[in-house]
Chain A
Amino acid sequence: MDKTLFYEQMAQILDAEEVKPENVLKDFETWDSLAVLSVMAMADSKFGVAIKADEMRSAVTAADLEKLVEGKLK
């Protein structure tokens, strides 16, 4: 999985200069239902995997989301 691409995409979705794996999602003001939908769309278009919002609920950090996408790739 192209991790650089994933974090670039996350930064775009969250309107942040940079998103690091250890960043807590809730610390971003822009982490809302629109961001959740955008992550689903990004996972689909950039990595070819379909993830559900339910599966994202337990994600605390950006790395948790990355693992979720990576898990689907296998």
Chain B
Amino acid sequence: MNFTFRRKRISGILTVLPAREQSFVDDMKNFNFPEARSLKLKEVMGYDKHRIVEPSVCVSDLVVFALKHLFEKELLLPDEFDALILVTQSPDYFMPPTSNVIQGRLNLKKDLFCVDINQGCAGFVIGLIQAFLLLEQESIRKVLVVNADVLSRKTSPKDRNSYPLIGDGASITVVERDTVDSVIHANLKMDGTRNNVLMIPAGGFRRPSSPETACLEDVGDNNLRAKDHLHMDGSAVFNFVQVEVPALIADLLQHTGSSIEQVDYFFCHQPNRFMLQKLADKMRIPHAKMPSNVVENFGNSSGVTIPTAIAFNLGDRLIQEKFKVCFAGFGVGLTWGAMLLDLGRVNFNSLIDYA
């Protein structure tokens, strides 16, 4: 489905990543796999190092840290935003919503619309769509789209299909009304029949965690993982991205009468370098226009990867300059969404460490 939003803009992006860095070479020690093949995996997929939290760190810890940073630097005032949309798959609790936990920990005002959305790799696009819809209300001046996940805590270190690429992090994106007559287009699709391609099978109400769901099982190729762990059907994900995402972006460009040449950057979700380069090649997008360097430096932190890619590749340039960008997120659900907008002249765009 297509969306059109008028007079809305992104005015700031902050990404916080755990300071703790782990290398693929360290990860390899846990794999039950010939070293040469592990190194081949590293080379082909573009794995190197990734940022993961200490095992006790929760989503609200990362987000409170990020918001305090913005308040202290006076880049954002505690009472100037009226909604906080938290997009996460790793909430602090089943209940209450983690957005309320954040509100409480920071003593934010009560006239604040707090909502959690359970979404992942398409979560940046989903969060922005929700934020733009909320901005139709007069009482809402600014919305924070908060993407945050600590999925390393649910990933088996002995599963080389997922562990070497996983990353943790949080990002705060400030969205507000634009003073010029700007237009943002988005395109979103979902397919719940493939909801099992990316899932954590146990730990919810359908299959509560038990000693049995904590047992590591050999799931093929000597990868060990429990039902409590994140499960990713890598080849099904690859097929999904290869088939659906080029069509999604092509549709959005066609719908808006735009061409690849007119777009300065394609900021896609970052599953790994391999998939992104294949995607770029298939769409004939020059690699320089589609950054794919997030996973090798920081890991894949689901909804946080697009803000990370923007901060890492553009940094302070985004404060002075303006670009035509296309976002594309794809993952759990399955969900795939793209957005075309002018991005720039923001108040801040940076990456900080959580320590």
- Contacts A30-B37, A32-B37: A53 and B236 contacting too (C-beta < 8 A)? yes
In the bound assembly, the distance between CA atoms of A45 and B275 in angstroms comes to 12
CB distance from B267 to the nearest CB of A (A): 22
Contact A33 B278 (CB under 8 A): no
Contact A33 B234 (CB under 8 A): yes
Asked if B281 is at the interface of the complex by the 8 Å CB criterion, the answer is yes
Query: A33 — which chain B residues lie within 8 A by C-beta?
Result: 161, 220-221, 234-235
Interface size on A, residues (CB 8 A): 17
Query: B44 — which chain A residues lie within 8 A by C-beta?
Result: 34, 38
Contact B235 A37 (CB under 8 A): yes
Query: B278 — which chain A residues lie within 8 A by C-beta?
Result: 41, 44-45
In the bound assembly, the distance between CA atoms of A18 and B37 in angstroms comes to 19
In the bound assembly, the distance between CA atoms of A34 and B34 in angstroms comes to 13
- Contacts A44-B278, A45-B278: A36 and B37 contacting too (C-beta < 8 A)? no
- Contacts A33-B220, A53-B235: A44 and B242 contacting too (C-beta < 8 A)? yes
CB distance from B247 to the nearest CB of A (A): 11
Specify which of A36, A37, A45, A52 is in contact with B282 (CB 8 Å cutoff).
Answer: A45
Fill in one digit per residue for B256-289: 1 if any A CB lies within 8 Å of its CB, else 0.
Answer: 0000000000000000001000100110000000
Query: B45 — which chain A residues lie within 8 A by C-beta?
Result: 34
The winner among A34, A36, A38, A51 for most chain B CB atoms within 10 A is A34
Interface size on B, residues (CB 8 A): 20
Contact B234 A37 (CB under 8 A): yes
Query: A22 — which chain B residues lie within 8 A by C-beta?
Result: none
Provide the main secondary structure of the chain B interface: helix
In the bound assembly, the distance between CA atoms of A51 and B281 in angstroms comes to 17
Chain B residue at minimum C-beta to C-beta distance from A39: B235
Contact B281 A52 (CB under 8 A): no
Contact B221 A41 (CB under 8 A): no
Specify which of A34, A41, A50 is in contact with B243 (CB 8 Å cutoff).
Answer: A50
CB distance from A65 to the nearest CB of B (A): 14
Chain B residue at minimum C-beta to C-beta distance from A43: B242
Contact A34 B37 (CB under 8 A): yes
Provide the main secondary structure of the chain A interface: helix
Asked if B2 is at the interface of the complex by the 8 Å CB criterion, the answer is no
- Contacts A44-B278, A45-B278: A34 and B239 contacting too (C-beta < 8 A)? no
Contact A52 B239 (CB under 8 A): yes
Contact A15 B235 (CB under 8 A): no
Query: B236 — which chain A residues lie within 8 A by C-beta?
Result: 52-53
CB distance from A55 to the nearest CB of B (A): 10
Query: A52 — which chain B residues lie within 8 A by C-beta?
Result: 235-236, 239
In the bound assembly, the distance between CA atoms of A36 and B161 in angstroms comes to 13
CB distance from B3 to the nearest CB of A (A): 27
Asked if B323 is at the interface of the complex by the 8 Å CB criterion, the answer is no
Query: B242 — which chain A residues lie within 8 A by C-beta?
Result: 40-41, 44, 50
- Contacts A32-B221, A34-B44: A50 and B239 contacting too (C-beta < 8 A)? yes
Query: B40 — which chain A residues lie within 8 A by C-beta?
Result: 15, 30, 34
Residues of A within 8 A of B (CB): 15, 29-30, 32-34, 36-38, 40-41, 44-45, 50-53
Could you give 19 example pairs across A and B, Cβ below 8 Å? A15-B40, A30-B37, A32-B221, A33-B161, A33-B220, A33-B234, A34-B41, A34-B44, A34-B45, A37-B234, A37-B235, A41-B242, A44-B242, A44-B278, A45-B281, A45-B282, A50-B242, A51-B239, A52-B236
Excluding A34-B37, A45-B282, 16 further A-B contacts by CB distance (< 8 Å) are: A30-B37, A30-B40, A32-B37, A33-B161, A33-B220, A34-B44, A37-B238, A38-B44, A40-B242, A44-B282, A45-B281, A50-B242, A50-B243, A52-B235, A52-B236, A52-B239
Closest CB pairs A-B (n = 9) = A53-B235, A33-B221, A52-B239, A32-B221, A50-B243, A41-B278, A34-B41, A50-B242, A44-B242
